[in-house]
Amino acid sequence: MLTKAAILYEINKPLVIDTIKLPPLKDSQVLVKIAYSGICQGQLLEIKGFKGEDKYLPHCLGHEASGVVVEIGKGVTKVKANDKVALTWIKGVGLDGFGCVCECSGKKINAGPISTFSEYSIISENRLYKVKSDISMEEIALLGCAIPTGLGSVLNIAKPKKNQSIAVFGCGGIGLLAIQGAKISGCSSIVAIDLFDNKLQIAKKMGATHTINASKYSKEHLTELIKTELDFAIESSGSPKAMLHSLESIRPRGGTAVILGNTHHEDVIKINPKHFNLGKRILGSWGGECMPDQDYPFFEKLIEEKKLDLTFLTNDKYHLDDINQAIKDVEMGKATRALISFE
C-alpha cells in the first residue's frame, strides 16, 4: 500500500515528505494507522549525524506514537485489528520482527522494526503495547518514549524515598516527566534547571519546588535554595557540561546521578575520581529500565487517574507537512514535545 512519510535522505538536511510503498506484511509484523507521533531528541541527533555513521540512509524515523491496528502478520497474538496501541522503541514481549524496507520512486527506504513519521507504518509485534483504557491518542503517543524514559529514570533507577531531594537538569519532555516522577515519589525538594525560562515555568506547574536558569547554575546556589544536600540528580539535557554538573551537585556518601541525555558520539566527559572516592554514584539508563508489558499498565493507570499532567507535552501539534518546522521548534526550546498529528 501507499502512504505519506517523512524521509531522511541526507544528514543535516530537512526531511523529505513523499509517498512510499509499504511491502506486504511478514510474520511478526503489524500494520498500524498512526494517530500521533512524538518528536524527541533521539531523532534530532539522527538528523544531525550525532550518532555516527548512518548506514541505513535513506530511512524513515520516529520511535514513539499512538495508533490503531489495521492488520496483523502471521504469528502475531499480542494485538488484533482495531486495537488501540502505543508504538514504543523499547522492546517488550512478542515476536521480534524483521526491519521493514519500503520503496519510493524505485529507491529502497529503510524503516526498521519501528518508524512513526508516516500515516501507516509496519511495526514489529514486540514494539507494540495494547492500551485498554480510554486515555487520549495524544497521551498514548507519549507512552512510546517520554513517559517510560522520564518516569522510569526516577521510579525504576533513582528510586528516591519520601522527603528526599532531587534536581533535574534539562526540562524537555523527559525532564518534565522526571519532575512528575519525583513528585509521585514524595520528594520534598525538586529543582528544575534549564536554559529556557518558559520551560522552568512549566516545570513549576508540574511539581518543581525551585527553579534555576542553567546559565546561572552553581552548586552553592543550588544548596542555598534547598537548604540541604542533594540526594539525586537526573540529567536529561544531552549537554556534557550538565552531566558533570549533575555529578558535582549530589551529596557525598550515596548521592546518585542518573544520566539520560545523548550527546555527539565523539563527546567525552572528564570526571575527577574524587567524586567516586566520596561515595557518589553515577548511573545510566536504557529506556528508564522499563519493561513495556510490566511498567506501561502502571503508567496508563497514572494517566487515567489524572496523576500525570501531560497538557504541556501534548499542546504543540503539527501536520506531517510541517515536520521540519516542528523539529526546529523542539531544537529551539519553543515546543516541549512536538506531536505530529495524523488525525
Closest to Zn ion by CB, 40 or 100: 40
Distance in Å, CB of 295 to Zn ion, minimum:
16
What gap in Å lies between CA 202 and CA 216, rounded to an integer?
19
Distance in Å, CB of 343 to Zn ion, minimum:
21
Q: Where are the beta strands (DSSP E) in the chain?
A: 2-8, 16-21, 29-38, 59-60, 64-72, 84-88, 100-104, 107-112, 120-124, 128-130, 165-169, 189-194, 210-213, 232-235, 256-259, 281-283, 317-319, 339-341
Closest to Zn ion by CB, 154 or 187: 154
Q: Where are the beta strands (DSSP E) in 187-336?
A: 189-194, 210-213, 232-235, 256-259, 281-283, 317-319
Distance in Å, CB of 102 to Zn ion, minimum:
22
**Of 291, 17, 310, 272, residue with least CA distance to 135:** 310
- In terms of Cβ atoms closer than 10 Å to its own Cβ (0-12, 13-18, 19+), residue 44 is middle
Closest to Zn ion by CB, 149 or 246: 149
Cell matching residue 217: 547554575
Distance in Å, CB of 265 to Zn ion, minimum:
17
Cell matching residue 68: 490503531
Closest to Zn ion by CB, 145 or 302: 145
Closest to Zn ion by CB, 6 or 40: 40
Q: Give the CA distances from residue 288 to residues 10, 65, 187, 302, in Å, rounded to whole numbers and listed in that order.
A: 30, 18, 18, 17
Distance in Å, CB of 252 to Zn ion, minimum:
33
Distance in Å, CB of 315 to Zn ion, minimum:
18
What gap in Å lies between CA 65 and CA 141, rounded to an integer?
4
Residues binding Zn ion (CB under 5 A): 40, 42, 145
Distance in Å, CB of 219 to Zn ion, minimum:
29
Closest to Zn ion by CB, 42 or 181: 42
Closest to Zn ion by CB, 255 or 287: 287
